[in-house]
Amino acid sequence: MLNLFDLSLLVNGFPMAKARKKLAAIVGISEDKYAQFTDDVKKEILEYHLANNPFYKEFIGNRVTNTWTDLPVMQKKDLQRPLAERLSNDFTIKNVYINKTSGSSGAPFVFAKDKEYHALIWANIMRKMHWHGVNYNKSWQARFYGMPVDFLGKTKVRIKDFLSHRFRFNIFDSSDQALEKVVEKFRNKKFYYINGYTSSIVLLAKFLQRKEIILKNICPTLRVCVVTSEMLFADDKILLEEQFGVPVINEYGSAELDIIALEDPEGKWLVNAETVFVEILDDDNNPVPLGEEGKIVVTALYNKAHPMIRYEVGDRGALSENSTAKYPILKKLTGRTNDIAILPSGKIASGMTFYSITKKLFDDEGNVKEFVIVQLKPNTFEIIYTSDNPLTTTETENIKSAFSAFLEPGLTLILNRKKTLERSSAGKLKQFTSEVIS
């Protein structure tokens, strides 16, 4: 059988054979030598950019950088300048892989990876997905990501998806009629796994629940579901596994970097220690002990085209106390660093608080399909939702009581029912936003 996925990477100039050989050498390093190996690679990529990247030298400036933790933390705003100004001396726009972030965090930008690094990323992704039986050259993917609306863009994506053994569904239409067509496609296509945005996949599961359908019963080839880009709640994971009839795997990644963590078959959220280096820092950019929560900061260990050194992803989380240099474990992912609400009393609540309260209330009623929450003022929150029926007086009072009990009394809630929710151009759903300037 022709390996179309490998062929498409090769045609685009990504040296996969070389990447797999390098990855095998990395994976083969013993546990007792891995910390020193990582330190050596960190030093190499730092020295390369200090010698070959004018942008990074300017970014470092006159700072004293005797140790790794002295290095400044990079943020998206630091990179929002023309890409050509950020490339290393050996690279141009024509000989690198270029892409851009979706902007769901509020700070979109264009980034670049050298082709050897991009090949190494794909070699590692394919290795990790093989844990779950996925073969990119053979396993068909049901893909729930965004799609261009223009004919040319849509055609390019369809061709790319075909070469990658993927079929992409339109996640911008979650009506019952559209979801009926999704289910029908599963009846007639031998999908091996599902991959895509959590919110869209949860919508499909809720539809299946209403229709009393187990997806694996109508698509026996289905083996696993991989959710990414948005928070996965424990209740939603249970729902997905019940309605799909397959294990649900949590992926955490960043387009400008790589997969950052992926659940293994035993349920451990293993951090990618092969191609990136992950740190958890406090608000003063100091490392925190294992088990403690902080900002997630990541270094791309092999990207020579563009410096991504101590790059603040924009999320918060914690590494497990059982982490080692070779096998770091993501203990928890608690959401974006800017997903916080400052209440009138001065109390600070993470966006997760609102998700948990509102999801529980809505899910109990079984009426609301999706929702987003916007903090308009310290004491005012707008809940924008889609539902089969308007909320009843009892449902409304239950929501107000929950906000009062879990947060503080006196909050004003504006309930705004809409036909559809606004997503980013990539199809992501940002479930909590604060418009209050802290």
Write out pLDDT tens, residues 386-434. Answer: 887 888 888 888 888 888 877 889 999 999 999 888 766 555 567 778 8
* pLDDT score for 52: 97
CA dist 301 → 43, 67, 273 (Å): 9, 16, 10
Q: pTM of the prediction?
A: 0.80
Token representation of residue 425: 């151009």
3-state secondary structure of 110: strand
Strands 330-336 and 311-319: antiparallel
Q: Is the pLDDT of residue 339 over 90?
A: no
Residue 170 CB coordination number (10 Å):
16
Sheet holding 141-144, edge to edge: 166-168, 141-144, 193-197, 224-228, 248-253, 259-263, 269-271
Q: Is the pLDDT of residue 201 over 80?
A: yes
Q: Tell me the torsion sign for CA atoms 194, 262, 285, 302.
A: negative
Give the percent of the chain with pLDDT over 70.
90
Token representation of residue 407: 């947060």
Residue 47 CB coordination number (10 Å):
10
Q: Is the pLDDT of residue 438 over 70?
A: no
Measured between alpha carbons, how far is 269 from 227 in angstroms, rounded to an integer?
13
Closest Cα to residue 392, out of 370, 409, 410, 415? 415
Strands 96-100 and 110-114: antiparallel
- Neighbouring residues of 177: CB distance < 8 A, sequence distance ≥ 6: none
Segment among 2-11, 172-181, 283-292, 413-422 with least mean pLDDT: 2-11
Q: Is the pLDDT of residue 108 over 60?
A: no
Across all residues in the chain, what is the average pLDDT?
87
Token representation of residue 68: 């790794």
* pLDDT score for 235: 86
Give the percent of the chain with pLDDT over 90.
56
Q: Could you say which architecture CATH assigns to the domain 340-434? A: 2-Layer Sandwich (3.30)
* Cβ(420)–Cβ(369) below 8 Å: no
Q: Element (H or E) spanning 298, and its range?
A: strand 294-300
Q: Is the pLDDT of residue 100 over 50?
A: yes
Closest Cα to residue 230, out of 370, 112, 49, 414? 370
Angle formed by the axes of helices 16-27 and 4-11, nearest 10° = 110
* pLDDT score for 26: 98
Q: Is the pLDDT of residue 103 over 50?
A: no
Residue 391 CB coordination number (10 Å):
20
Token representation of residue 52: 């070959």
* pLDDT score for 428: 59
User: Which CATH fold topology does 4-336 show?
Assistant: Rossmann fold (3.40.50)
Measured between alpha carbons, how far is 261 from 228 in angstroms, rounded to an integer?
10
Write out pLDDT tens, residues 247-301. Answer: 999 999 888 899 999 999 999 999 999 999 999 999 999 999 999 999 999 999 9
- Neighbouring residues of 338: CB distance < 8 A, sequence distance ≥ 6: 105, 106, 314, 434
DSSP 46: H
Token representation of residue 304: 């020579």
Question: Per-residue confidence at 343, pLDDT binned at 50, 70, 90?
Answer: confident
* Cβ(388)–Cβ(369) below 8 Å: yes
* pLDDT score for 359: 58
CA atoms within 13 A on the CB side of 182: 25
Measured between alpha carbons, how far is 153 from 171 in angstroms, rounded to an integer?
16
3-state secondary structure of 43: helix
Token representation of residue 297: 């900061």
What residue type is assigned to position 67 of the chain? T
* pLDDT score for 278: 98
* pLDDT score for 426: 53
